[in-house]
Structure 1
């Protein structure tokens, strides 16, 4: 039910995440024009280039190098949503925002996400140290669930992580995979990125606030 493709648009990026607001905005806006994906808008800052899925509040930060992909779900999809992903130094990070047509719960979505991530594998609990960022209290009013696993993928052990949060009927998912040798570094970075993603996800939507005003 939650399976989506994360390889719709792949760009080699070498000019983003610079401390140059103009360049960051230009990169994001050029990408949006060329891709023509609806529901996304420029969310860049002085520090990084980014795009925001306006209906859900999911913000996708472009990596300083590596591959980046994004898209919205097809108009005829059962559920509304969008996705983005990046790959850098062997670490893949995917973000998915979904609004389900049938009422569900955070625990149900989380269980389905973990099952999908582990499908066809023989996973076991990852024995490493949970990131310091994840040990903090939930961000604002947004609650979340996180699972960390390790499993052989293509003959090599991989670190796997899935995190899910809910706000106003939207479910935000973070999916991470990394070589087991870099698992601790990937977990630390993923925890920090997750906290940042939660803060942006829980922030009021500018367009919604303007409409309410």
Structure 2
């Protein structure tokens, strides 16, 4: 019978790769409270800190066979730092989006907030497209130009315009697939 609490981090990691759930439980128990404290010291939100740490452990378990960790303690600490940064970035972005909404006498509905957040999310995806693809997408969707008009303006073939639009829409679909699923779940919980 293995006494997991006496094993080193390296030994636990080796067992984790072999899908040993008890090794994972030991890692979880060994680092949970330390990581919560670290995350809480930055977020000052208990729920956010717990969610961050839970996501990190979920990632460790689901990626156990592909991640290579030299130092478990350093890996988890770095993961908390990056996750806190991501949390703060998303929180600031959401605050910014809410601040940009027109002030109305009536309270904002959840639908408006979600629509504005979705619009910002889509804009972020579009901005990461390759330059020509991004320009063609903006001409098509923001300016309402036809593929033929875009082709003439940019001096390229109409088929090239269509290919770039297809690529842009495919990228949006792939990125929104998970987001819309998550948004649907969140809306049901609210």
Alignment TM class, shorter chain as reference: 0.3 to 0.5
What TM-score do the two structures reach when normalised by structure 1? Answer: 0.32
The structure that is strand-richer by fraction is 1
Between structures 1 and 2, the one with greater helix share? 2
Flag the structure with larger Rg.
2
TM-score by length of structure 2 reads: 0.35
Return the structure number with greater relative CO, CA threshold 8 A, min gap 6.
1
